[in-house]
């Protein structure tokens, strides 16, 4: 069972990374309309499946029942999602961000921004942020920061963090559990 879990995690990882790379290689990737539900599915495959299934496999190896294994899976899944969103947020919340710093146009804050804004306004913003055929990331970053995408991404990060903490509640208090909780606190703190 453990080998099958890890093999499926690796399959998910390869599938997710392949999909990410194929999207970013397309000419029109700048105006892709992937939506947050698609973003979540792809992010789970490329960033969450390995951690979630590894946590589950660890509980399988320790001979815990299916319910405990599922809680470990839930912790890993939500922890990975929270960590990825935190990483995606960094170009928008760091105090010292270089104006030339690029960010992924398929990151959580951008996807949420364009979903809230609507496709037509998003394409208009992209057009306004282009100068001489190149995207001015500083201008686009400011437009995104002025919208609700960043705060929505922070809320989503905290949501997944809370789900990870809830999964940990099924485990008895211990130093290991406290360490896992502290990891969640570290990626969901924004101030």
* Annotated domain spans of the chain: 2-21+33-188
CA Rg value for the chain: 18
**Average pLDDT value for the chain:** 86
Q: CATH top-level class for 2-21+33-188? A: mainly alpha
Q: What is the mean pLDDT of residues 23-42?
A: 68
Residue 18 neighbours by CB under 8 Å, 6+ apart: none
Q: Is the dihedral of CA 152, 155, 157, 163 positive or negative?
A: negative
For residue range 105-132, what is the model confidence (pLDDT) as tens digits? Answer: 889 999 999 999 998 999 899 999 988 8
Q: Residue 160 and residue 154: Cα distance in Å, rounded?
A: 10
């Amino acid at each position: 069972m453990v080998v099958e879990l890890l093999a499926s995690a690796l399959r998910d990882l390869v599938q997710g990374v392949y999909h990410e790379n194929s999207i970013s290689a397309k000419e029109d990737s700048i105006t892709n309309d992937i939506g947050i539900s698609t973003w979540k599915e792809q992010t789970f495959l490329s960033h969450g499946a390995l951690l979630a299934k590894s946590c589950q496999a660890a509980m399988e190896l320790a001979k815990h029942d299916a319910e405990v294994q599922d809680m470990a899976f839930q912790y890993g899944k939500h922890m990975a999602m929270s960590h990825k969103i935190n990483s995606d947020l960094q170009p928008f919340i760091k105090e010292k961000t270089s104006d030339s710093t690029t960010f992924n146009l398929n990151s959580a804050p951008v996807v949420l921004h364009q979903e809230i804004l609507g496709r037509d306004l998003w394409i208009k913003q992209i057009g306004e942020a282009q100068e001489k055929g190149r995207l001015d990331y500083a201008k686009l970053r400011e437009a995104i920061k002025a919208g609700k995408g960043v705060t929505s991404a922070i809320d989503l990060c905290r949501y997944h963090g809370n789900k990870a903490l809830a999964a940990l509640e099924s485990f008895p208090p211990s130093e290991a559990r406290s360490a896992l909780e502290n990891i969640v606190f570290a990626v969901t703190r924004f101030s």
